Structure 1
């Protein structure tokens, strides 16, 4: 009976009342306090009164505003960005934005506009970006020209426009981007292009219009940053019409759903009469390639031949001696030697990514590219038991090498001896077979970024990362450590310059307290998606001011002794941990609310226990862990009973003592 009373007393004494205090749901999501709000797809037909007058950026797409007037946004005088995508807007009345003097960007995409008043844009004094994509416009006369002198980009894609001639008086002095993609433009005249003469370094997008004719001389008087004729079937029309043009970047690629006809070498003769630095021929097909095909590409610095069905480039190509960047991705080369690299002696950037066939690296295929700085050979099914000195012979100036997403590679000691100036090495998702106990990277004294994610590399090799004094960024995601533990002695101990360390998805269950002591200047550590508990936080005690990602681990209760370690960090992410929201974790829960400014992704940092609070945000939980009124009552009763019992026990003891004298 006494035992039952004691148990009942203890339950009452330590019982705690738990409740979730959830703030009322806001109609619009606040992304930046008093400045940026997202009101997308809420079925709104007016601007909510809850939005403060200080709002600067408003995302209001997928709502219902068939008519907007000068009173619709009049209260929001500080707006700089306004997105009204798919708001079913038909009418924009006079002086609609008269109060928005600071409006910088206006997005009217996918609204079935019928009418827009001439004075609709009179208010904004510095409107720079205007979007009329998919609005049904058939003529540029629809757009009010007043007050657009600061306009930098005009986006008119997916409409019914047949002429690019801008309205009289349309200011183009500051115009940098003019986007007409996917319209009904088929012929370009000198008169139409003349309306752009005041623009300088303009990017003109005519993608998806299938240009069938260009009046000679139409492009003569304007210097273009870029011109995009993507999807045009007949390239001869383009090269003929661009005579005497000056264009830095010319996009002539096509798409999967366009019936492309093969290009003959004579099509490129028009390049001899124009000035171009960069050409993109993505997904085009060549009738035949000869050493003379590119003879008019003499001044070209950048050539993109992605997915052009190439199996081999001819030897002795004429015209590409000055080429700096060459993209040969998604082609059908059997061997790296089939690109005949000697034809591009000035090359600094080479991309052969996603080759359709298994690519053989060969030996010394690129040795003539002594100026090469970047080489991308990712997604090529490359497999070799001995990488990579013979294959990268004479590439002593190489700074960036990407061999990610390939087949297994065997690495010996100093596997990249031919590339001592490497600063970035990406081997992600390529299984590495290190054949010696020494480091295959030990001669890369200038290496700053090393990506070894999902390489199935032997992390038990203590010398794996030796010889990397300048390494700043290391990605070991998806590699497993012996027994799921990072021990005191580990490959990271030599990396004193490391600033970013990624150890997510490494199946870690524990970290030795001294495992990271050599990482003195690290500022970003990702330990997410492991099985770590709060005990591993002790290994971070010497780190201060870092970004710490502990998301998706097994952390439930964080003792008060570990809270100072968390307090000294810059940003912490604890989402998707089985966090305890009972009084057992009260010190952490109090700390959490007091340190919201350093916590990331708080919307998804939820309680897992007790069941009554499962799924509730930690920031919304309030616990009462003091003794309740019932507990106080039972405490008094317990003390009285204890006192009475003590008195009776004392009397019994004295009686027993005297009986035995």
Structure 2
């Protein structure tokens, strides 16, 4: 049983089902927690008391809910927590005490909660990250969240317990104004994750504190900023050299520092990383390294002048590459070759202008499955653009101008997703999708089609499930256009100029369950078409069409009235009228039948 009683201004806990497992009682007015406040709820596992104005907690307050596993006390001005207040909760796994005015972790008195896995005491008034010694006995403990406190200095004694409580701990220190870390404070400590975002106020402090972290072994380290408001100029190209003394697998670095022109060694100490995420990094003059075990590389807003193809080539372990949101237009000057494990490439949002795509650019990538080149300037295809890229499953070019579209994709037998939306293509080649027998999703809205191109365009797409041909100015389809799409479930044809939909009666569309015909020029639908619509149709959108509500179309209007359960946006199914405003069919025809 679940109860949500948030924001009711309640000063007591009402009677609840004895089997209640979840109770959200946030934003009420309890003032104090006493022994008889809670009914006996032995199955309760989640209790949220956020901002209930709680000041006092009596020793036996949680006696009736002693099996709670998650307790949230965020935003309560708790004045005192006694030795027995929280220790009653022997099953507690997650304790959240954000913004409660806490001065020290020792003040919590939770030494008997040995099943605790996560402690969140962020946004309090902690001056130290000193960890109580009793946490050594919490064998399942995983997360210590100290974000947004007032910790300025980390002493060697503060972290001593971390050497003894296992190797799978996450420590979150972001938004603390740290100005000093004792050298050796993290020596021989192994952490799963260390979050230090927005903890260092300058490049000089960053440099000193990273050097002080020498000897740390951490799976994932996060440094830098959350947003792009901070811009720190540095003349020191070695301010990250302290990373060389830290053993890490993954690094997230929102850099934001703006360095002057000249070679820098930003990547030097990341040579052993398996995953690197660099946001707003000045990579134009960076000395690239041959990473030893890199699997994922994410670069965003990096002010590159070209895709570093030559530097990235021969990264034999790389599996996922993202270069996106570049500040300046970028280009390819070299081939990207010999990356045998690469499966994923995203080079979207780069104002990219590319001539001769794609196999000549991406050579010797036999496992490449995902290629996203969307939201760029212009890409020109070769005749067989994906030759040698037979493993591709996802291709995304939306909102990128594509030229020379009479190309051949027959080798892409595994392709499942293709997005060519709003690419200013003029489709004249009716066999353009030949051979794509495994395609499940095809998006081609906002393009142009000539002649009888739809006659054979979808013949091979026998496994297609989702098709979007909206906003293309199409006035008609042939009856057999979609005849081979026996697995098609979603068909979007909105924003065209269709006046008739006879093609929907083709038996090949028997699986169709969702059809969007909004914003066309449909005034009526013949009775024989209505009677032969796909039997599985559960969503039918006719909104914003000029529906003829005259008596001559009474059968059609009556069909709309009796099929409201499948008519999507029925309030926007409007009657055609000469007046400036149209009225909904439901309202107009209802009034007509009763007049």
Asked if these proteins are the same fold (TM beyond 0.5), I'd say yes
Deviation at 1:543, TM superposition (A): 5.7
Deviation at 1:89, TM superposition (A): 4.0
How far did 1:180 drift?
1.6
Residue 591 and residue 305 in structure 1: after superposition, are their counterparts in 2 closer, same or farther (change >3 A)?
closer
- Give the one of 276, 283, 304 matched to 1:333: 304
Task: State the match for 2:580 in structure 1.
Answer: none
- Paired with 1:166 and 1:616, the residues of 2 have a C-alpha distance of 68
For residue 282 of structure 1, report the CA deviation from its aligned partner: 1.9
Unpaired stretches in structure 1, ≥5 consecutive residues: 1-34, 594-598, 632-661
Secondary structure of 1:497's aligned partner: coil
**Retained in 2: the 8 A contact 1:608–1:615?**
yes
CA distance in 1, matches of 2:250, 2:235: 18
Q: Distance in 2 between matches of 1:615 and 1:135?
A: 53
- Is the CA contact (8 Å cut-off) linking 2:513 and 2:534 kept in structure 1? no
Other-structure match for 2:121 = 156
Match of 1:596 in 2: none
Match of 1:304 in 2: 277
Aligned residues: 570
C-alpha separation in 1, matches of 2:499 and 2:55: 57
Q: Alpha carbons of 1:167 and 1:478: their partners in 2 closer, same or farther (altered >3 Å)?
A: farther
1:276 alignment counterpart: 248
Cα deviation for residue 247 of structure 1 reads 0.5
Matched, 1:443 2:408: no
Residue 205 of structure 1 corresponds to: 172
* Deviations 1:137-178 (CA, angstroms, capped at 9, x unpaired): 232234351664333333232222222223453454222222
Residues 1:358 and 2:325 aligned together: no
CA contact (8 A) 1:516 1:539 kept: no
For the 8 Å contact 1:386–1:410, the answer to whether it is kept is yes
Instruction: Please list, as runs of the form range in 1=range in 2, the aligned pairs for 1:87-166 lying within 5 A after superposition.
Output: 87-100=52-65, 103-116=68-81, 118-121=83-86, 126-145=91-110, 148-166=113-131
Alignment of 1:597-616 (within 5 A): none
Answer yes or no: is 1:181 the counterpart of 2:147: yes
Structure label with greater radius of gyration: 1
SS at 2:321's partner residue? strand
In structure 1, C-alpha distance between the alignment counterparts of 2:531 and 2:36, rounded to whole Å: 51
8 Å CA contact 1:292–1:318 kept in 2: the answer is no
Q: 1:150 to 1:337 in 2, by over 3 A?
A: same
SS at match of 2:210: helix
Instruction: Name structure 2 gaps, 5 residues minimum.
Output: 576-582
- For residues 339 and 411 of structure 2, what CA distance do their matches in structure 1 show? 21
Match in the other structure for 1:262: 234
Deviation string for 1:336-376 (max 9, x for gaps)? 24873358454333222011111012242x23545433222
Q: Which stretch has the larger CA shift, 138-147 or 289-298? A: 289-298
Q: Does the CA-based 8 Å contact 1:514-1:539 persist in structure 2?
A: no
Matched-pair contact (CA < 8 Å) for 2:410–2:436: yes
Counterparts of 1:183 and 1:377, CA distance in 2: 38
Deviates more, 1:399-408 or 1:486-495: 486-495
Deviation readout 1:77-106 (Å, 9 max, x if unpaired): 654444444444444444444444564433
1:294–1:320 contact (8 Å) kept in structure 2: no
CA contact (8 A) 1:575 1:606 kept: no
User: Secondary structure of 1:149's partner?
Assistant: coil
Assess if the C-alpha contact under 8 Å between 2:243 and 2:270 holds in 1: yes
* Distance change >3 Å, CA 421–CA 121, structure 1 → 2: same
Deviation track 1:596-620 (CA, whole Å, cap 9, x = no partner) reads: xxx89x9x8768789xxx99999xx
Could you say what the CA RMSD is over the residues aligned between the two structures, in angstroms? 4.6
Give the one of 404, 417, 422 matched to 2:392: 422
More helix by share: 1
Correspondent of 1:455 among 423, 431, 438: 423
Q: Could you report, residue by residue, the CA deviation over 1:405-459 in whole angstroms, capped at 9, with x for unpaired residues? A: 01122224222225332222111211222342x44x3332222222223323335
Deviation of 1:329 (Å) = 2.0
Distance of aligned partners of 1:320 and 1:492 in 2 relative to their CA distance in 1, 3 Å threshold: same
User: How many Å separate the matches in 1 of 2:560 and 2:260?
Assistant: 70
Q: Deviations over 1:226-273 (max 9, x none)?
A: 111112232333332222221111112235344635374544444444
**Which residue matches 1:4?**
none
Moved more, 401-410 or 297-306: 297-306
Shift in CA distance, 287/108, structure 1 to aligned 2, threshold 3 Å: farther
1:466 aligns with 2:442: no
Distance 1:471 1:186, change over 3 A: same
The answer to whether the 8 A contact 2:401-2:423 is kept is yes
- Structure 1 contact 445–469 (Cα < 8 Å) conserved: yes
CA, structure 1 residues 531+121, in 2 after alignment: closer, same or farther (shift >3 Å)?
farther
Q: Residues 525 and 120 of structure 1: is their aligned pair in 2 closer, same or farther, counting only changes over 3 Å?
A: farther
| 1:212–1:113 CA distance, 2 compared to 1 (3 A) | same
The offset of 1:202, in angstroms, is 1.5
1:469 match: secondary structure: coil
2:459 matched residue in structure 1? 493
1:384 aligns with 2:357: no
Instruction: Work out whether residues 462 and 489 of structure 1, in 8 Å CA contact, stay in contact via their aligned partners in 2.
Output: yes
Partner-residue secondary structure (3-state), 1:328: strand
**Higher relative contact order (CA closer than 8 Å, sequence separation 6+):** 1
Partners of 1:211 and 1:562 lie apart in 2 by 70
Deviation at 1:283, TM superposition (A): 1.9
Q: CA deviation at 1:307?
A: 0.9
